[in-house]
Structure 1
Amino acid sequence: MCLVKTTAHLLFYSFVFGGTTFYSYVASPIAFKVLEKDQFSALQNKIFPYFFQMQAASPVILALTAPIALTTGPLSSLVVASVSGLTNLFWLLPWTHKVKEQRKNIAKKYTGSELEAKDAILRKEFGKSHGLSLLFNLSNVCGMLAYGVCLSGGLLRKIPK
């Protein structure tokens, strides 16, 4: 086992898993609480394309550099993680952006109860897209966690007793 390759792999895995988990469950909720709605939205709009690209590409890089055999367990966990990132990047992110733009447009055209009626439909659609995005983000984290467990087990088996 090449020490440099294994070390680089572990550091990269730690960065990806730690970064995704920290941003998803610590930084983003704090930002939501302390920033104004427009500021939070602007922040997420800048971060999410890169965030989802990282979620999609990192498992592929991990698979290509794995210091353990990629049997069904580790490989399937990386596939789940990557597909989750791809789903967020290419389906849910554009859908969410589209709904947000529609909401901005109707806010310019309507007021009062007419605005409320039209916006209610879009809020519901935004809730669906956002909820699915959260689910796929969680599946990415779970896939990466499962890979980490497989990675740890595989590396522990290589340690001389």
Structure 2
Amino acid sequence: MDSLRLGSVLAPAHLLFYSTLLGTELYQSFVMTKVCYQSLPRSAFTTLQKRVFPLYFKGQTMLLLLAATTIPPHGPLTLLQNKLDWIPFAVAGLTAVLNLIVYEPRTRSAMVERVHQETRDRRQQDTDYGTVESVENGPSVEMKKLNRLFSKNHAMCIHLNLISMVAMLFYGARLASRINITTA
């Protein structure tokens, strides 16, 4: 396939993959998560999130790869020609992979452990019912540790995801500046 024909295939594919990536990031992060958090009971929200976010981070990583490999006119070779193009992809790729293999699994694990600890604490309070200590102590030491662990990993997920979005918005501005629209 000659260069002209390859470029004519890559351009629409690239726009499709890039726009799907950015749209998915923005929608999942700012619409779906907020609506679900406000609308669902905590246990249902937890169950939904532990199923949605592994798929989200896999999809984000896949769409980043597809967008990077379809940059016109020559795919990845075009990407490597300009630092201002490949750096946003490198940043977004690194943050997506860190979320996929490190922080999302840790966050999910801590989230599930908190639910189990909540059950254990409730059982302990039932056993201690009527004592002043059970009412005044608040969360158990174990629950406080799990809350800190969850908060730390969840904050990393959020910040890495935000960094990925900013990198893709930066790339999108560069991409938009190169689009040449002519009227007939």
What TM-score comes out, normalization by structure 2 length? 0.77
- Check the 8 A contact 1:20/1:141 in 2, yes or no: yes
Q: Distance in 2 between matches of 1:34 and 1:114?
A: 26
Point out the structure with the larger helix share.
1
* SS of equivalent residue, structure 2 residue 178: helix
* SS of equivalent residue, structure 1 residue 67: coil
Alpha-carbon offset, residue 115 of structure 1: 5.1
Of the structure 1 ranges 60-69 and 25-34, higher mean CA displacement relative to structure 2 is found in 60-69
**Counterpart in 1 of 2:72?**
67
Alpha-carbon offset, residue 109 of structure 1: 3.1
Alpha-carbon offset, residue 53 of structure 1: 1.0
Q: Distance in 2 between matches of 1:33 and 1:109?
A: 26
Deviations 1:34-87 (A, max 9, x none): 111111111111111111012222222111110153211111101111111111
**Counterpart in 2 of 1:83?**
94
**Counterpart in 2 of 1:50?**
55
2:175 to 132, 151, 155: 151
* SS of equivalent residue, structure 2 residue 98: helix
* SS of equivalent residue, structure 2 residue 72: coil
**Counterpart in 2 of 1:95?**
106
Alpha-carbon offset, residue 103 of structure 1: 2.0
Alpha-carbon offset, residue 141 of structure 1: 0.6
Percent identity at matched positions?
Answer: 26
2:39 to 26, 34, 39: 34
Q: Distance in 1 between matches of 2:47 and 2:97?
A: 22
**Counterpart in 1 of 2:165?**
141
- Check the 8 A contact 2:14/2:66 in 1, yes or no: no
Q: Distance in 1 between matches of 2:32 and 2:108?
A: 21
Amino acid at match of 1:132: M
Q: Determine which structure has more spread, i.e. the larger CA radius of gyration.
A: 2
Q: Which runs of 5+ in 2 are unaligned?
A: 126-136
- CA RMSD of superposed structures (Å): 2.2
Deviations 1:110-142 (A, max 9, x none): 334485332122112211111111000101111
- Check the 8 A contact 2:20/2:63 in 1, yes or no: no
